[in-house]
Copies of this chain bind each other. A is one copy, B any other.
Amino acid sequence: MELNERKLRILKAIINDYFETAEPVGSRTLSRHYDLGISPATIRNEMSDLEELGFIMQPHTSSGRVPSDKGYRFYVDMMLQLQQAEFTKLVYLDELKKSASRIEDLLRNIGEHLAKETHYTTIVSSPHYKKSKIKNIQLIEVEEHAVLAVIVTNGNAIKDYMINLDQSINQDLLNKISLVMNNKLQGLTINDINLDVIGDLKNAYSEGREVVSKVIDVVFKTIQEVDETDIYTYGTTNILQYPEFNDMTKASELIRTLEEKDILKDIVNTTIESNDGNVKIVIGGENELEGLKDCSLITTSYHINGEKVGAIGIIGPKRMDYDNTVQNLRCLIKSVDEMLNKL
């Protein structure tokens, strides 16, 4: 048995109706609401086939049909192929541009806007600092034995590291070290900093050689060790308005999952790696995470200098409006990438 054109039309109609009502769809409803030109009985036969093919399922005998994960997957893949890249102007882009002097602020605004616009939940990861190019490093004396390293990278992402030292060191020397660091490191990424580069740095000093050497070692050790991805979620409550989460247990589990930033981090990291430069859609049970099995996740990554450095995702019910959301996200990411590269 194959999925002919008529079955496809019925599948689309089911998905469409279920998107609107969140109720199982029956043959009579379909024949009334959609101009399919066939009787409910015929539709029933086709639905029976569609169920055997795994695209739809019945919550219980003698109820209407609901799209299965496989059904959504088929629909989404088809949609992604057909979708022409028409970049509608997003109304809130101008507003975003105003806030664009720091990447953190920009990302927060995007998260908030996107949640408001789509009525779904947004998830945004902070940029992967270690992959973006260093604009400036400055060491600051905080206490006798503590130094603060502030690193500004491309896109004006700012990250600071508190570093404990064995010996004391004054600000004057720190300034000198900072100066040399900037000369040598600007334009590199943190990942680029290897033993060669560090050796090179150390050689640039004559005075107070061994102290400087120690400082440089501990600074880079700290920087490399610190885990740096932050995850932010926006509009968590948005998703609670959908009837599929009326059940308190489900709602609670979902929110708990969204609170576990460590777990979300993994998901987002996977996105960045696997993502082929386009949006990625994970539907229901395809999700690794148990807590997200009733949701779909649409993610994409943003770039600085052509390098993927972070991700933006939208979490909604499985019957979410994939078409519009993907469009929306595509447009957005295009503008965001532009803005980021201007910073």
| Closest CB in chain B relative to A11 CB, distance in Å | 32
Which of B135, B150, B162 makes the CB contact (< 8 A) with A150? B150
In the assembled complex, A63 has its CB within 8 A of some CB on chain B: no
Task: Provide the residues of chain B in CB contact with A275, threshold 8 Å.
Answer: none
| Number of chain copies forming the complex | 2
Question: Do the beta carbons of A101 and B164 come within 8 Å of each other?
Answer: yes
Question: Do the beta carbons of B179 and A171 come within 8 Å of each other?
Answer: yes
In the assembled complex, A237 has its CB within 8 A of some CB on chain B: yes
Task: Provide the residues of chain B in CB contact with A122, threshold 8 Å.
Answer: none
CB pairs A–B below 8 angstroms (12 shown): A101-B162, A135-B142, A136-B140, A136-B141, A142-B156, A148-B152, A150-B160, A156-B162, A171-B179, A240-B255, A246-B248, A255-B255
Which of B135, B141, B150, B236 makes the CB contact (< 8 A) with A255? B236
Tally chain A residues at the interface, Cβ within 8 Å: 34
Interface of A is mostly: mixed
| Closest CB in chain B relative to A65 CB, distance in Å | 27
Task: Provide the residues of chain B in CB contact with A248, threshold 8 Å.
Answer: 240, 246, 248, 251
Nearest opposing residue in chain B for A241, CB measure: B252
Given contacts A138-B138, A148-B150, 13 further A-B contacts (CB under 8 A): A135-B143, A136-B140, A140-B152, A142-B156, A148-B158, A150-B150, A158-B160, A160-B160, A171-B178, A175-B175, A237-B255, A241-B252, A248-B248
Q: How far is the CA of A83 from the CA of B256 in the complex (A)?
A: 35
Task: Provide the residues of chain B in CB contact with A179, threshold 8 Å.
Answer: 171
Interface string of A156-173 (1 = CB under 8 A from B): 101010101000000100
In the assembled complex, A102 has its CB within 8 A of some CB on chain B: yes
Q: How far is the CA of A248 from the CA of B237 in the complex (A)?
A: 11
In the assembled complex, A20 has its CB within 8 A of some CB on chain B: no
In the assembled complex, A259 has its CB within 8 A of some CB on chain B: yes
Task: Provide the residues of chain B in CB contact with A162, threshold 8 Å.
Answer: 101-102, 156, 158
In the assembled complex, A182 has its CB within 8 A of some CB on chain B: yes
Q: How far is the CA of A69 from the CA of B240 in the complex (A)?
A: 29
Question: Do the beta carbons of B135 and A138 come within 8 Å of each other?
Answer: no
Question: Do the beta carbons of B142 and A152 come within 8 Å of each other?
Answer: yes
Task: Provide the residues of chain B in CB contact with A237, threshold 8 Å.
Answer: 252, 255-256, 259
Task: Provide the residues of chain B in CB contact with A259, threshold 8 Å.
Answer: 236-237
| Closest CB in chain B relative to A182 CB, distance in Å | 7
